[in-house]
Amino acid sequence: MNLYALMIGGSAGSFHTVTGILKSLPVHTDFPVFLCLHRLKQLSMGFREVLQANSSLPVVEPEDKTRVCNGIVYLAPANYHMMIENDFRISLSTDEPIYHSRPSIDLCIASAADTYHKNMAGILLSGANRDGTKGFAELKRHNGLCIIQDPHDCEISTMCTSALTAVKPDKLLNTNQIIEFVSLLKK
């Protein structure tokens, strides 16, 4: 496939998989990576640094209207929604949380799917609510590549189980398989 963007959504129980993915992304990754993770507000300090320590690519919390560049991991800032606009700028939003979540995985993946269509992949990981279901349905509608973590492999399976009721994934993988898959990704 022609991969122009990768988006990863995760919540409770996804941290280990996320760092595994970041470690396995090649230094010469030539697409942007959007990372939308639920996190506690009080843990926002230092979270980017922890991810950076596990990543060979730069991990940034983008400012509003940042132009998307290849080879950068964009971490949705705590307490903001992150959306990808069709002029390839990132826009942030302080609109109400959705499913008690800000950033919302639904908004991030749905907006990215609208911009990159079939040329993007989304990975949904462990989590304790239903965020991601609508967004991955949108990604599927655009023929983007949908990867969902096997609920049996999730620390908390609610999020992936919910998504599986709405989306037939292209790949249903466990943590190790996800990490291996990511290490082979190329544009």
Closer CB to another protein, residue 25 or residue 110? Answer: 110
CB of 10 to another protein, least distance (A): 21
Whole-number minimum distance, CB 98 to another protein, in Å? Answer: 9
Whether residue 64 lies in the annotated active site = no
Question: Quick one: 48 or 157, whose CB is closer to another protein?
Answer: 48
Residue with tokens 């290490």, as numbered in its chain: 183
Q: Least distance (Å) from another protein to the CB of residue 93?
A: 6
Kindly tell me which of 106 and 153 has the beta carbon lying closer to another protein.
106
106 carries an active-site annotation: no
List 101, 104, 131, 153, catalytic entry: 131
DSSP assignment of 112-151, as one string? HHHHHGGGEEEEE---SSSTTHHHHHHHHHTTPEEEEE-G
Q: Which residues bind another protein (CB under 8 A)?
A: 61-65, 77, 80, 83-87, 89, 91-96, 107, 110-111, 114, 134, 138
Q: How far is it, in rounded angstroms, from Cα 88 to Cα 151?
A: 33
Q: How far apart are the C-alpha atoms of 123 and 125, rounded to whole Å?
A: 6
Structure tokens at 68: 């998307």
Q: Does the active-site annotation cover 14?
A: no
User: Nearest-CA neighbor of 100 among 20, 147, 51, 158?
Assistant: 158
13 or 62: CB nearest another protein: 62
Q: Find the catalytic residue in 38, 101, 111, 153.
A: 38
| Cα dihedral: 157, 99, 59, 83 (round 10) | 130
Catalytic residues: 11, 38, 131
